Chains A and B, each alone.
Chain A
Amino acid sequence: MKLPMLKMKKNSKVILKTKNVTKEYRMDGVVVKAIQKITLVIKKGEFIAITGPSGSGKSTLMHIIGCLDIPTSGEVFLDEHKVSRMSESKLAVIRNKKIGFVFQTFNLLKKTSALENVMLPMSYNGTSEEESTKRASEVLKDVGLEDRQYHHPSQLSGGQQQRVAIARALVINPSIILADEPTGNLDSKSGKEIMEIIKDLHRQGKTIAIVTHDPKVAVQAERVIKLKDGRIKK
């Protein structure tokens, strides 16, 4: 991956915008505000880190940015689609087209080859099997796993599994890659490798948001958004 670093443009396109986003939960009759009035803009090609101690609301924010959940109030726009008031089915389509998830626990399907794991998102949008196989194979090659295509997750190391997960996120060519503690379950060497891949993707112009509590990971991003008690810390 030796692509030239792309110059960031000051007025590049807005990928994601949140406006006064608040999310409340009801727990045992008590209303808990997980995040409050978060206003945030992520532009194309940006690499941001969302950080904060546990309970600061960073997971909730990531769920809302990732269209896994809708806010109690406020608005969220992704690629100019208002996703804050969409039905579950429509959100599924948005996630399928625009968001590449990378999870702490990889979340690969067991007893399913790396290739098929990467093909999975395309099985939900009607891509032909031939086309999916071709694209999945290419992306796996990009993350350096061309010789591990037919291995099952149990036959791969943690770092390799996370690379399969990154390939699965990349294969749909998402507007934004959302990584939730991507190095959390890895040893430091594999963790470093994964961060290198993420930084490489950034250099290629991908938009990346990474959620982490680890300051060493957060500093590698261009911009750090610190959360505390559900609010952005200035």
Chain B
Amino acid sequence: MLIRQLIVISLRSIKTNKSRSLLTTLGVIIGVASVILLVSVGAGLKDYITNQMQDMGSNLVMVMPGEIDLDKVGMGSSSMTQSIAAMSSSKLKLEHLSEIEREVPQITDAVGLIMSSASIRYKNESMTSQIIGTTDNFTDVRSYDYSSGGFFSKADVNSGRKVIVLGHKVADELFEDIYIVGEKIKVNDYRYVVVGVIEERGGEGSMSPDDKVYIPITMAQRQFGQDSLGIIFAQVDTTDNVPAALTGIENVLNIRLDEDEFTVLDQKEILSTVSGILNTLTAALGSIAAISLLVGGIGIMNIMLVSVTERTQEIGLRKAIGAKPEVILAQFLTEAVILSVGGGFIGILLGSGIALLLNHLMPTTVTLWSVLLAFVVSAGIGIIFGVAPAKQASQLSPIEALRHE
């Protein structure tokens, strides 16, 4: 018997029981769709974060307060909370910033940041935003375009003037306008003068300037009552010099600080840690979804067993007129595989479709490996869960089967 004939017979029997076949495949459809969807969410998140990091430029080195063991990040929350605690008791100071700039030859710029959040008010409008206190050379590390005005100057920083640069979203929400240079707004109880509005940059999260406001670091230290820095970004002249710069910064800081009071990281290290965490997350999400695939497979086996019982007479006739047991086995196995692969195919379309739709709300990336894996797994499920019913069918005695009413 030709494979084509087996497929024709199987398709006919699937078509004869349309609604039952659809319900049977539903388990596989949902399983495959959720595997693809969840993996695409994990992969999308990874792509998104990777892009954000790369956006910073590959020559960027970070100095964080406290001791951070990257290998332990993600293993548990303890080192995360530790690093957050370290940030508030930071020992990094503005002096270190200039020392790094001065003493490490590979560093072209070093920028210090204080991050906090505060409520911003303009007349009756108010909102909570992330405030970033930084130095004027911030623009050398992160180059933005301005809808109006520009970034504050060295003089502003040195004399601690109350000037502020707004992200696009902030300006939009408070003023519904972008030509607002010279307007006064209040950050908590301090009155600031707007000197610039950064053009819309898109994206979300820590790297997008849209929902942030920037003030001179000297002013931020005063306003938030701290004399330390939350983080230092340092720009290295070439990518090749990154390792040398890392050691350079460490040597400079070791003079004044203890080893456990700061951590110097480059982008590559952070990236590999983050993608490690996200790979684990993706795998975990995928495995949870895979359980529903298993359930789908059991559904197929269940329906195939019912189908064998129901079609006992047909099986008996086929055997009586010359179908060998192997052929009957192949017929029912083909049917199970068609059901599961068909379900897998619909599930792939459904999962990818939902992932693409979701892309407007959150980053999703449909990966080829998840599609291929889902397809292979669904075919495998058809075979594994189809064997038992097919075996049962093939072992029916033609006499008993023909007698069956």
Contact = CB atoms under 8 A, between A and B. Distances in A.
A63 B316 CA distance: 13
B403 to A, nearest CB: 9
Interface centre among B2, B314, B321, B399 (most CB of A within 10 A): B321
A107 B317 CA distance: 7
Interface centre among B313, B322, B323, B327 (most CB of A within 10 A): B322
Determine the main DSSP class of B at the interface with A.
helix
Contact of A68 (B1, B313, B398): B398
B325 A89 contact: yes
Interface string A132-176: 000000000000000000000000000000000000100000000
B191 interface: no
Instruction: Give the interface size bracket for B toward A.
Output: 20 to 34
B398 A123 contact: no
A121 B321 contact: yes
Interface in B369-405: 397-399, 402
B319 A92 contact: yes
Contacts of A168: 321
B322 A96 contact: yes
Nearest to A101: B320
A112 B12 contact: yes
A54 interface: no
Contacts of A93: 322, 324
Interface centre among B2, B316, B399 (most CB of A within 10 A): B399
Contacts of B402: 103, 107
Interface string B285-300: 0000000000000000
B77 interface: no
Contacts of A63: 399
Contacts, number: 57
Interface residues of A, number: 25
Interface string B306-321: 0000000110111111
B5 interface: yes
B12 A123 contact: no
Contacts of A125: 322
B77 to A, nearest CB: 61
B204 interface: no
Contacts of A110: 16
B322 A121 contact: yes
Contacts of B5: 123
18 contacts: A66-B320, A88-B324, A89-B324, A89-B325, A92-B323, A92-B324, A92-B325, A95-B321, A101-B321, A103-B317, A107-B317, A107-B320, A107-B402, A109-B314, A111-B12, A111-B16, A121-B321, A125-B322
